[in-house]
A and B are shown apart, each in its own frame.
Chain A
Amino acid sequence: MLALTQTPVLGTPAVQLKNITKRFPGIVANDQVNFEVKAGEIHALLGENGAGKSTLLNILAGFYRPDEGEILLRDEKTVLRGPADAIKKGVGVVYQHFKLVHNQTVAENVALAMRHPRFFLNLKKIEQDLNELGERHNLTVRAGANVGSLSVGEQQRAEILRALYLGATILALDEPTANLTPKETEGLFTAVRNLASQGFAIIFVSHKLEEVVSLASRATILRAGKAVATLDLKGQSGEKEQIARLMIGREADIQSGLELGLVEPPAEKPHPENLSVNPHRAALEVRDLSVKGEVLNSTVKSISLDVHPGEMVGLVGVAGNGQRELAEALAGLRRIDGGTVLLNGANLTNKPARQIHKMGLAFVPEDRLGVGSAAGLNLEDNFLLRDYWRPEYSAGPFLRRKPARQALGEAIDQYSIAVGDPYAPARLLSGGNLQKLLLARELHNQPKVLIVANPTRGLDINASAYVHNKLRQARDQGAAVLLILEDLDEAFLLCDQLLVIYEGRLMGKLPPTRTAANLENIGLLMAGSSLSAGETH
């Protein structure tokens, strides 16, 4: 199983999807999609969130059966009867959210998909093979370690190694750079190029144009379920603009250009005008904050930071370095073990969440369905979730539904939230609409401090632009905004200042400029190296 049976001839078609159609209730996720990848090629699959990339990937992985169309693997017509069948036929998919069992070792995770031997396990052998394979492909990973103790980068390498070990010749990577430091991204790209040159067919799913044009030789663009074009990428100028146009179906205006990273954000951010509060006193002051972490390396260690009114600060870093713990501690959802938090001078350290909210700190968590909303309840209940106790919605022990309904109606209108049925469970909302609802709720009472974690994860360009504008608006109205971000592009686009977090420590403070030197510095800090004193600001 270890050795590739035969290296496919470069340039022969490895995967051909012909006229693939997949329907879900009320929606056509893939509409007559044609997609082809050759052996030895890195083929980018591009599209906005919701364009149908994941569905296509899931069809390739054997998860979904297409309603129409056919799949050809190495020129042979096949039906993928399920994930096991797809693995057997040499398809390996690495999802953005890794499919790894955390309390098992890498070797055990690899053994999961193996069909031989049937009963007894020889984990030592698998570990050995994995280490060998990893060295050969520049994808080293500690095969005997528990997955839960690995960094995100290592987990990804484990996923890729697993696919290779199981004999994949077609490798699909779903947003592989979303959680990597710039340096890890480099390493991944080198390994991927290497694999391609050996005859592997690589499918690179992304929405980051910069990466696509630097890595892929061809790109297929999906829009609203249809494959609108396949382009040869030759590294000419104007390619990104062309792709962007195809992705959003119109000429990219400044707004979407900004979102797609086509246009540089203005270096001088518009300065907040006529603030009612003193901008020199920070609205949020955090001093020596320590919070116990939930996973490896996520313990927050003595962090201090200030956010001023009218300022948008971005806390960037790879997921799992303490950002979530920090944000939740500030919002009163996690115990603070040491240090203080002040909001306009008032102490909120370890105060109950309700009181912190009441004092003017709003928080939109990253996990919108799991934490930010009670997804089984309807929109009205979710709109009330954090504010039902306020006098405007209650009379004694009773809840007043009428003003709530009124306020929700206004919010739906004001934030143009597209709802089929406001009394249907919130989980039926699209990601963008749910995020709008949460923002509407959190901004309803003009917070003094706003903390938002990964505000546009999973959102399409229109919704992202909308959310970004709302955040800017809140800042311009005098809120102190702290964003937890993993996407550097988003950080450059929005923030007035960047803070880099690594293993629960603040590594440095940097300006949000996209100069090569600055990017390099941020990359270093995100990976845990420190800069010499002169370089920090």
Chain B
Amino acid sequence: MSLKQRAAKELEIQKKLVGLPPRQIYPSTAFLAIITPILSILVALLIAALILFVSGRDAIFILSEIFRTSFIQNFAETVVKAIPLILAALGVALAFRARLWNIGAEGQFYGGVLASTGLALSFPNLPALVIIPLMVAGGLLGGALWGLLPGLLRAKLEVNEIISSLMLNYVALLLTDYLIFGPWKDPEGRNFPVTATFSDESRLPTLVEGTRIHFGLVFAIVAAGLVWLLVGRTKWGFELKVMGDNLKAARYAGINISRNIIIAFLLSGALAGLAGMSEVTGVAGRLQQNISPGYGYTAIIIAWLARLNPWAIIMVAILFGGLVSSGFTMQRVGVSSGLVTLLQGILLFCVLGGESLYRRLLYQAALRRSNLTKES
């Protein structure tokens, strides 16, 4: 066939516009997608039970007690714990999407806490309509500020962001200690390391009567929606996705990588900061030591387990909220709260393992399909 004939034929083809076939859902893979996480969690519980059993505890009693208190009796408290987890996990997920390992959500959480506490203590007389938006802005900014340095260093000097963001967690904790043991210590607090209680005006309003569920829940849900929109529907979200898959391809695509790294860290930090702000103004009402039982670290697990999907983050965060709020239950039944951390780690390992198995099966299936349709 001559070139001209070929060109003519192609023009002909070009005329009949053909769209893509709809995305196919394969029943076997859909089943796998549901069954793997469930199995993984069951295996994790089994291992946890084993550890309890080995250390001479009544595993079934303890685990069922945790479940009963966290998810039936005190579900509201679980939701309260889930609020900062959702916000921080959304931030972490945003950065992870571009394969930016922001391990500094804990420090960024404190960034938000410190900024909003500072505002609350400085302006005790402002009306809620002024101080609350101010504190929201402060929380966002404080978290963003804490995320700025790792982002900047990674973007400009390729400094490993895992280390830099993590180191800042310790710095944030020490700064908080300095403030509550020093300048911010409540003069009437009988020398306890706490700040003065915030004015009622600068407390986030309660959302559900009779519980501690506060307005932060609205922030969390709105944030989830915004992150979903940002990541899934915008050009910037597309850029993040490409960066996460292949940085060289991102450069080839003409994406401004440095700028995006910095923005992603700022946004990621801002969300963690908002988590801190809503926790300190919605729950505690004053700044005290260990205001976060490791929310920033738990957020990392949540983001990963939810496969960075904002809606899944809400679900997983509630699960982990239950785990976090069970610390009290554990004390009651005489188990170290270290078990919570341990259980989180085991859970993550099991889900990782399940995930990897699932991916491998999926890949094999896709490979089989694509090899069958390849041209010979």
Contacts and interface: CB of A to CB of B under 8 A. Distances in A.
A120 interface: no
A447 to B, nearest CB: 14
Contacts of B20: 380, 405, 408-409, 412, 422
Contacts of A374: 241-242, 245-246, 249-250
Contacts of B372: 26-27, 420
Contact of B234 (A331, A399, A419, A476): A399
B342 interface: no
Contacts of A406: 17, 19
Given A25-B368, A377-B241, A353 B251 contact: yes
Contacts of B238: 381, 384, 388, 399
A389 B6 CA distance: 32
Interface residues of B, number: 44
B28 interface: no
B14 interface: yes
A274 interface: no
Contact of A462 (B241, B248, B371, B375): B375
B254 interface: yes
B170 interface: no
B242 A429 contact: no
Interface string B355-376: 0000000001011111111111
Contacts of B246: 370-371, 373-376
A430 B374 CA distance: 7
Interface string A448-472: 0000000000000011000001001
Contact of A414 (B14, B23, B237, B375): B14
Given A430-B375, A432-B375, A377 B236 contact: no
A385 B252 contact: yes
Given A372-B252, A386-B252, A432-B375, A420 B369 contact: yes
A409 B17 contact: yes
A418 interface: yes
Given A406-B19, A409-B19, A473 B369 contact: no
A224 interface: yes
B236 to A, nearest CB: 7
B332 interface: no
Interface string A348-369: 0000111101000001010100
B34 interface: no
Instruction: Count chain A CB atoms within 10 A of each CB in B17, B23, B250, B374 and give the residue with the most.
Output: B374
B241 A405 contact: no
Interface residues of A, number: 63
Contact of B235 (A331, A332, A355, A388): A388
A394 interface: yes
Contact of A405 (B19, B235, B236, B251): B19
Interface string A510-522: 0000000000000
A408 B23 CA distance: 14
Given A418-B375, A462-B375, A386 B254 contact: yes
Nearest to A394: B235
B373 A333 contact: no
A410 interface: yes
Contacts of A428: 366-367, 370
B32 to A, nearest CB: 15
A397 B235 contact: yes
B374 A418 contact: yes
A8 B254 CA distance: 58
B235 to A, nearest CB: 5
Contacts of A410: 14, 17-18
A479 to B, nearest CB: 14
B27 interface: no
Given A27-B371, A386-B252, A473 B241 contact: no
A27 B369 CA distance: 10
A276 to B, nearest CB: 16
B253 interface: yes
B10 interface: yes
B241 A413 contact: no
A357 B250 CA distance: 14
Contacts of B234: 397-399
Interface of B: 3, 6-7, 10, 13-14, 16-21, 23-24, 233-238, 241-242, 245-246, 248-254, 256, 364, 366-376
20 contacts: A353-B251, A372-B249, A374-B242, A375-B249, A376-B245, A384-B238, A388-B253, A389-B254, A397-B234, A398-B235, A405-B19, A414-B10, A420-B370, A421-B369, A422-B21, A424-B370, A462-B375, A469-B3, A473-B3, A476-B3
Interface of A: 24-27, 224, 270, 331-333, 352-355, 357, 363, 365, 367, 370-377, 380-381, 384-386, 388-389, 394, 397-399, 405-406, 408-410, 412-414, 418-425, 428-430, 432-433, 462-463, 469, 472-473, 476
Given A374-B245, A397-B236, 4 more contacts: A25-B367, A370-B249, A376-B245, A413-B13
* Nearest 10 interchain pairs by C-beta: A354-B254, A26-B371, A420-B370, A26-B368, A374-B245, A27-B371, A420-B369, A353-B254, A409-B19, A25-B368
